[in-house]
Structure 1
Amino acid sequence: MRLILITILCGFQFGYHCAIIAGAHGFLAEYFILDQTKQAFAVSIILIGGLIGSLLGGILADKLGRKSSLHWTSLLLIVSTMIVSFAPSYITFLMGRILQGIGLGITTVVAPIYLAEAAISSKRGAIVSSNQFAIPLGILTAYGISYIFSSSGNWRMMFMLGAVPAVIQLIGFFFLPEVVVRDKKSLENWRTLFTLRYRKLLILG
């Protein structure tokens, strides 16, 4: 249960970081004096980072392991969120957002793999889908935070609170195992293909 709760914070962060900009972009536009084009870029650039991160996710999962990839990514999300929260300029803000996107892209790929390998087969579907369930929770939380700070216009705090689940993960992953599950049935099926009976069919067709 601890493994599930810590890991699904990946989905929560995805929802939060993607949605919090909705409540903050008006204050950003006023603070950095942004036109419509720059506002749109500030909102969408996280998706560019997400594309990069999703391409890296599988590679990192294989090279570093599932848990280690998520552990390092939690640190990336903390750092990138601090960059966004304390950004002195529009360019710095964009750099932080694209780094956030990279981190979220990685977790989007690796978290379901980690959950699937940790789960018993009879509950695997429910456990893996819990990460997806956490996404709208993150979105809902972001809207709630936006409402709370709407009167003060404190956009920095809106973004900064997004680092809280990443900090929990950074600590929590120290106490979770690196799960490696080999599907014995699949392995046996592959071996069967190379028995004498099927070898000629594979070679000769």
Structure 2
Amino acid sequence: MLVVVVGVPGVGSTTVTTKAVEKLKEEGINYEIVNFGTVMLEIAKEKGLANDRDELRKLNPEIQKEIQRLAGKKIAELAKDKNIIVDTHSTIKTPKGYLPGLPKWVLDELVPDIIVLVEADNSEILMRRLKDDTRKRDFESTEDIGEHIFMNRAAAMTYAVLTGATVKIIKNRDNLLDKAVEEMVNVLRP
């Protein structure tokens, strides 16, 4: 099975996913979590095109698109032999607008079974971001965060239309992490 998990920065999608995978492992159900950006960087390094994510972002857009496609293909190959969760972004907010995190050429390679959106209230996400001193994020208002969540939902449904995947929304509310993890476990369980 190939599952894509997305969420706006600060929502806790990686935390929910990691804890769900740990619980499933106790039941003998194994998943490997693969970060899409990391796979892209590995490919760029192999081709001598970039040494870090900053260099990757600055590559010619056509080269970036090809690296995206190759990353999708590599992940799809992994999913032939094991259950894979792709940790990525549904959309990327840029100064010029939102970019799709999974453009058609990537979806054509990946063909996910399920797309999971991890969400929380806008104000909860804002407070999590403000408390996280391990990251340098641009400030976004609660309205900006809400817009990004809306764009993620729109993109996820578009991805589903193109691939036949189902879309599941899991709420990761403050002090209710266990509930979000249990919901993710139920989605991932065969």
* Pair in the same fold by TM > 0.5: no
Which TM-score applies when normalising by structure 2? 0.31
Higher strand share: 2
Q: More helix per residue: 1 or 2?
A: 1
